[in-house]
Structure 1
Amino acid sequence: MNSTPSPSTLAERLKQAMAARNLKQETLAEAAGVSQNTIHKLTSGKAQSTRKLIEIAAALGVSPIWLGTGEGAPALAPDASKAPADASPLRLEPLLPWDSSTPLDEDEVELPLYKEVEMAAGAGRTAVRQIEGRKLRFSYATLRAAGVDPAAAICAQLTGNSMEPLIMDGSTIGIDTATTHITDGEIYALEHDGMLRVKFLYRLPGGGIRLRSFNRDEYQDEEYGPEEIHANQISIIGWVFWWSTVRHRRAPTLVR
């Protein structure tokens, strides 16, 4: 009796695994955290590979080696099936090095990076400006989960400890520039007379606003009326939907 030949392409293996699980493209895309267009291109053969192979294989419950190359058995190792059916596996997304010449993945978008910069001939004055040539990559799935339009999303570099330990000095933040209407208690990025500031915002009667820091031991609340908002050139850049910090290794402590 002849055994069924193993599918020879990624598209065939992907469609076989989807059929076995009775999964549609939309359902698989949501489970794997990728766009439906990514799944469509893979199943149609228009795309021959993806950096989200591990996530797609996990969503299908198959071996990523088999899915990617056709080698080995489709099923996961026995140990992988011992977890309860309703348990949510912990997935650590692989860190992949890239630079400006690395092509974008099907489910990625580049966001411009902003920071507080000193203006030319500005006598020490600053402004929040885009850093030419610097961008950060996000997956569309991350932006969709936050309800953020990629066209309205930017990143910025923050300095200062007013939001520590929630948002550390040196953090990179993601900002939705389409959301500038204040929802009390949410975190927003502001440009305050050329300074980039991140604060909890609250509305005040008469059109004023209250700025609140997470580090309230060192930073008191600030309140501004409509005239003061204009005089201090305070404008809301957008709602902060994401932040991340790269830690720097400390020098070893010398034993005395």
Structure 2
Amino acid sequence: MGISPNTWTAYKKGRQSFGLHEIAKICDILGVEPQWLLFGGQAASQALPDLAATDLVRLPRFNARASAGNGLIAVDQMPVGEVSFGREFLRNLGAQPEYCYILEARGDSMWPTIPDGALLIVDASKTEVDDGRIYHFNVMDKVLVKRARWSMDGKLYLTSDNQAAGYPPEVFAADRVHELSVGGRVMFTGHAPMPVR
């Protein structure tokens, strides 16, 4: 997993907790769902070979970190790994499992909805932009996670949920449509417990 012996010792002694990245990596290596690893239950009593035969979908995980801030440059668009999720879990979210992928959010503009470091499940089949929903957008060379808002005059506003931070919306009228593409709709946000602010 690429975890140093000192860090592993800290995990074993309870001085440090696994983050989402480590949990996702363990699940990927074992071929199990995060629910199984975190909560156990009936699935935890099954042998790993039986779990591997269940109805899992391997979602590609991209190194591109979608900015929940001012925008991050998309450097590498190739998947860096996979994370397995249950097909039924994804369908219950309203997602089409075969079109889903994983991104990591960076920044505080979407706080508290999406905290810094959250893993996002995005559905690439959902590119029709609905008012009020959150999407992964590519704006020229930037990767953004923003809430979509439509104005009465047909302009699209990419807005932030963190009103206190004062992030201005990015506005797209007909003359800027060529700068924007929709990666997909954010269907699920996974993150560690958030500290009190």
Q: TM-score, structure 2 length as denominator?
A: 0.64
3-state secondary structure, aligned to 1:162: coil
Larger RCO (CA within 8 A; separation ≥ 6): 2
Work out the number of aligned pairs and report it: 148
The Cα RMSD (Å) is 3.2
> Secondary structure of the residue that 1:217 maps to in structure 2?
helix
1:103 deviation in Å?
Answer: 6.9
| 1:234 to 1:143, Cα distance in 2 relative to 1, 3 A | same
Match of 2:114 in 1: 167
Q: Quick one: which amino acid aligns to residue 227 of structure 1? A: D
Letter in 1 for 2:63: K
Q: Structure 1 residues 125, 162: CA separation in 2 closer, same or farther (over 3 Å shift)?
A: closer
Judged with a 3 Å threshold, the aligned counterparts in structure 2 of structure 1 residues 179 and 125 are, in CA distance, closer, same or farther, namely: closer
Equivalent residue in structure 2 for 1:112, among 60, 63, 68: 60
- Counterpart of 1:151 (choices 95, 98, 115) is 98
Task: Give the secondary-structure state (helix, strand or coil) at the position aligned to 1:129.
Answer: coil
Of residues 148, 172, 185 in structure 2, which corresponds to 1:224?
172
Identify the residue that residue 135 of structure 2 maps to in structure 1: 188
- Residue pairs, 1:69-80, within 5 angstroms: none
Question: Which secondary structure does the structure 1 equivalent of 2:40 belong to?
Answer: coil
**Are 2:132 and 2:149, in contact at CA under 8 Å, matched by a contact in 1?**
yes
Equivalent residue for 1:209? 156
Unaligned runs of 5+ in 2: 1-31, 45-49, 66-71
- Whether the 8 Å contact between 1:176 and 1:240 is mirrored in structure 2 is yes
Residue 128 of structure 1: how far off its partner (Å) = 5.8
Following the alignment from structure 1 to structure 2, what is the Cα–Cα distance between the partners of residues 248 and 210?
28
CA distance in structure 2 between the aligned counterparts of 1:229 and 1:127, rounded to whole angstroms: 22
Give the drift of 1:180: 0.8
Distance 1:186 1:248 in 2: 22
Paired position in structure 2 for 1:234: 180
- Runs of 5+ consecutive residues of structure 1 not aligned to the other structure: 1-50, 56-91, 97-101, 118-123, 250-256
Shift, 1:154, TM fit: 0.8
Identity across aligned pairs (percent)? 24
- CA distance in 1: counterparts of 2:123 and 2:73, whole angstroms: 26
Report if the CA contact (8 A) 1:184-1:202 is conserved: yes
Alignment TM-score, normalising by the size of structure 1:
0.50
Which one has the largest radius of gyration? 1
Kept in 1: contact 2:103–2:121 (CA 8 A): yes
* Superposition deviation, residue 222 in structure 1: 2.2
